[in-house]
Structure 1
Amino acid sequence: MADNDEVKAARRDLGRQLAQLRKAAGHTQHGFARLVQYGRSSVANTETGHQYPDRAFWTRCDTILQTGGVLAEEYDRIAECARQQRRRSAIHGTAPWPVAATHTRPDAPGADDGSALWEHEGSIGARRLALKSCNDDDARLAYLEDEVGRAVTDNERLTPAVLLARMRPLRPYVDQLMGGRQHPPHRVRLYGVAAHMSGLLGTLALDLGAFRVAHAYAAEAFDLADAAQQRDVQAWARATQSLIAFYAGDFHDALAYAQDGLCRAGTGPHSIRLTINGKARALARLGDRYGVDKAVDQAFTALSDYPSGSQVSASLALGPYCQARTAANAATAYLALGCGTDVTTHLTTAIDAFDAAALRGPQALSRLDLATAHLRGDNPEPEQASSLALEALTLTADQRYESVNQRARQFLATARPFAQQPQLRQVAELLYNRTQIGARTPPALPSPS
């Protein structure tokens, strides 16, 4: 009968309302069924209107979904309407579906014909609750942002493997949150967290020599930042992509990422890192002395806009690069161009700062650059250079960064004319122990040409 059909329709609406609220809260049918102590098929049948459980079920649903009793209240209304319908049917035969007086007005369009023009008020209420519901909040986002900040700070203090073990489980957790519902400001923050995590994981993969994984993570970092339209995070991600491309030997790509990042950074804090770590070093490897001079000057000029201090910035700085980082990267660029004097000038400041901060990665890299500089010029100093190289590899014996390994190879290539120096053999053997584990014999030091 018509009345019976309308009761069924109301029950289906209630089932759909439950489905909306469950999904908004981030529950699967299977997981929600365990919480309400019903079978998954019962939950599925209820949501499609094929099953209509008792009031206790709806009360449990309200408690778990924190609806304030909306579902049980609607269950009671449908039950009362069904009772009225049965009474009227017994006295007068079939009667129209009674709509609760508190939800209609006599002059409302369609109030006397089942309100066919309107959605059921329960569906509207479900949408309101879904709008207010969120599987994220300020506390959770603050926790994730703090984890990212700590990881960036610890990047050169913990071994890549240790930090990777700490961060890798967080990335799928963030991805799970992204599959739920958030208000726009929360979602933008969540995308920013995901971008920074992917970028950090990319640099850890780079440290361990996994270039393809590093490229994939860094590309994901930029895509997340781009989707959220966060230009600051976009610039940070481009700087990370440029870093990975540089150590992969893709210097044109490193330059392209840096230049695009600078367009997004504007005069923001990431412009320093993009200019000196990305643009200047890539230009140096491409042989552009004029471009390097200009980039170095731009980086130090931009650095002057920020307060100076003795604290060394993180290598993946979420803010501006510090004086020591800027100087060290300028030295690396000039070293690639064969400008020994410029290298030693910049490294004088950098090495002292890195030693004070006890950052082994930067300590090793700057020593290897200085060692290579000591092999060049009119008065080469192979003994002092070898001592610096040995010190660098010893400092990072338990942190076998790919960047340090590459810099050590470059040092040995420069040391060819001094192959008879005993300490150079030690450098070659240490590098072999770091990078050629499993090989039968260490690689021979190149003979003098």
Structure 2
Amino acid sequence: MVTGRVGRAARESLGFANSITTGNVTDETLTYLSDDLARIATAYVHAPILPLFGELIEVRDDLFQLLKGRQKPRHTRDLFYLTGTTCLLLAHASQNLGQHRAALAQVHTADTCARQADHRGLLAWTAGTAALIAEWSPRPRRAFQHIDQAASLAPAGESRIRLAAIEARTAARIGDHQRAAGALRRMDTARDETPAPDALTDFGGILTFPAPKTDYYTGSTHAWLGNHIQAEHHATQAIEQYIRGPREDRSYGDEALATVDIVTARLAQGDIDAAATALLPLLALPPGQRIQQLSDGMQRVTHALRRAPLLSHPTARELTDAIIAFQVLDGATAALPSPR
């Protein structure tokens, strides 16, 4: 009887050992999924959004399915990290498609996964994305809450530079000159710091904050502050850096919005012909690259064209008509690809 009980106890212990060593995830699986996300993140800045949106849904669904299974604890953390990163990319895509509530849902899920993974870098970047979504919303001041939340989490390097840049442009957008100037100074300080290891920026593309983007944000901040000469200078510098850099690193969204800042700066200085020269190529942007944020930019251009003394200028009327016909991407009406 004792022998039977001892044997049964041994079999039960072995069964438990087998149950915790058998998993549905391997290191190779995680490497494959990570590489796939890096490919999408890199393509995001130069490729149309909608096909990538469908690919992100596929990756997310695969990760969801894996998390429903059983794996080693370290693999579970890695899965939550990759799932959070995927939802973070979906938040960016949803925002670019003009779907504010969907973007908030995705960034909330990204934050939840980052907490499950206990990953400070992902938490910081997710908070920055939440700030970015708030900045473009009717309530931009909410961005500061997310920036304050991320301030102690962001590692030195691109994540910290990004937070300061978002803060500067948000402050400029609401007319807070002092906070905008302070954030620009912090951004410059962050650029001089020695970068800390940051696994998130290793994905590349949309999950980085390179020098051209820094100039784009600086120019946009000055545009909102009414510093037209500085705005045009930094916007032009951003575009030139993108043009000189690798093709796969060129952000059509950044270039388009920097062009808007150049156009509004030239209109503010009364040079409508130079503004038209910059604007016409933007109006020819392929439909798949017309992110929703361009709608805001085009409204700013239209308001500038309708102010005296440009109001009666023939070119102003022509440009206004062209802008009215300009259609941006809209996730509510666009035919999103099937996830499967």
User: Which bin holds the TM-score, normalised by the shorter protein?
Assistant: 0.7 to 0.9
Q: Is 2:177 the counterpart of 1:293?
A: no
Q: Indicate if the aligned counterparts of 1:239 and 1:273 stay in contact, CA closer than 8 A.
A: yes
What RMSD in Å do the two structures reach over aligned CA positions?
Answer: 2.3
Residue 18 of structure 2 is aligned with which of 122, 129, 139? 129
Q: Displacement, 1:314?
A: 5.8
Q: Indicate if the aligned counterparts of 1:191 and 1:224 stay in contact, CA closer than 8 A.
A: yes
Unaligned residue ranges in structure 2 (runs of 5+): 196-202, 330-340
Task: Give the secondary structure class of the aligned counterpart of 1:169.
Answer: helix
Q: How far apart, in 2, do the equivalents of 1:237 and 1:436 lie? A: 25
Q: Indicate if the aligned counterparts of 2:121 and 2:155 stay in contact, CA closer than 8 A.
A: no
- 2:77 aligned partner: 188
Task: Give the secondary structure class of the aligned counterpart of 1:256.
Answer: helix
TM-score for the superposition, normalised by structure 1: 0.66
Cα distance 1:119–1:416, how it changes in 2: closer, same or farther (>3 A)? Answer: farther
- 1:370 aligned partner: 262
Deviations 1:260-287 (A, max 9, x none): 11221153531111110x2111111222
Q: Displacement, 1:122?
A: 1.8
- 1:206 aligned partner: 95
Deviations 1:208-266 (A, max 9, x none): 11111111111111111122110000011111111111222321112211221122115
Q: Indicate if the aligned counterparts of 1:364 and 1:391 stay in contact, CA closer than 8 A.
A: no
- 1:233 aligned partner: 122
Q: Is 2:47 the counterpart of 1:139?
A: no
Deviations 1:267-325 (A, max 9, x none): 3531111110x211111122211111111111122112358xxxxx966325xx22211
Cα distance 1:119–1:287, how it changes in 2: closer, same or farther (>3 A)? Answer: farther
Cα distance 1:149–1:219, how it changes in 2: closer, same or farther (>3 A)? Answer: same
- 1:271 aligned partner: 160
Deviations 1:90-114 (A, max 9, x none): xxxxxx5xxxxxxxxxxxxxx26x5
Deviations 1:98-157 (A, max 9, x none): xxxxxxxxxxxxx26x538x9632221111111111111111111111111111111121
Q: Displacement, 1:355?
A: 2.6
Q: How far apart, in 2, do the equivalents of 1:433 and 1:299 lie? A: 37
Q: Indicate if the aligned counterparts of 1:259 and 1:279 stay in contact, CA closer than 8 A.
A: no
Q: Indicate if the aligned counterparts of 1:243 and 1:254 stay in contact, CA closer than 8 A.
A: yes
Task: Give the secondary structure class of the aligned counterpart of 1:115.
Answer: helix
Residue type of the alignment partner of 2:170? A
Residue type of the alignment partner of 1:290? Q
Cα distance 1:423–1:206, how it changes in 2: closer, same or farther (>3 A)? Answer: farther
Cα distance 1:115–1:335, how it changes in 2: closer, same or farther (>3 A)? Answer: same
User: Mapping of 1:236-255 within 5 angstroms?
Assistant: 236-255=125-144
Residue type of the alignment partner of 1:374? R
User: Mapping of 1:47-126 within 5 angstroms?
Assistant: 111=2, 114-115=4-5, 120-126=9-15
Q: How far apart, in 2, do the equivalents of 1:384 and 1:283 lie? A: 29
- 1:339 aligned partner: 227
Residue type of the alignment partner of 1:215? L
Q: Displacement, 1:421?
A: 3.5
Give the number of equivalent residue pairs.
316
| Overall identity of the aligned pairs, in % | 24
Q: Is 2:328 the counterpart of 1:328?
A: no
Deviations 1:59-92 (A, max 9, x none): xxxxxxxxxxxxxxxxxxxxxxxxxxxxxxxxxx
Q: Indicate if the aligned counterparts of 1:191 and 1:228 stay in contact, CA closer than 8 A.
A: yes
Residue type of the alignment partner of 1:257? H
Whose radius of gyration is greater, 1 or 2? 1
Select the structure that is richer in helix. 2
Q: How far apart, in 1, do the equivalents of 2:190 and 2:243 lie? A: 25
Residue type of the alignment partner of 1:382? I
Instruction: Single out whichever of 243-252 and 361-370 deviates more from structure 2.
Output: 243-252
Cα distance 1:177–1:428, how it changes in 2: closer, same or farther (>3 A)? Answer: farther
TM-score for the superposition, normalised by structure 2: 0.86
Residue 64 of structure 2 is aligned with which of 169, 172, 175? 175
- 1:435 aligned partner: 327
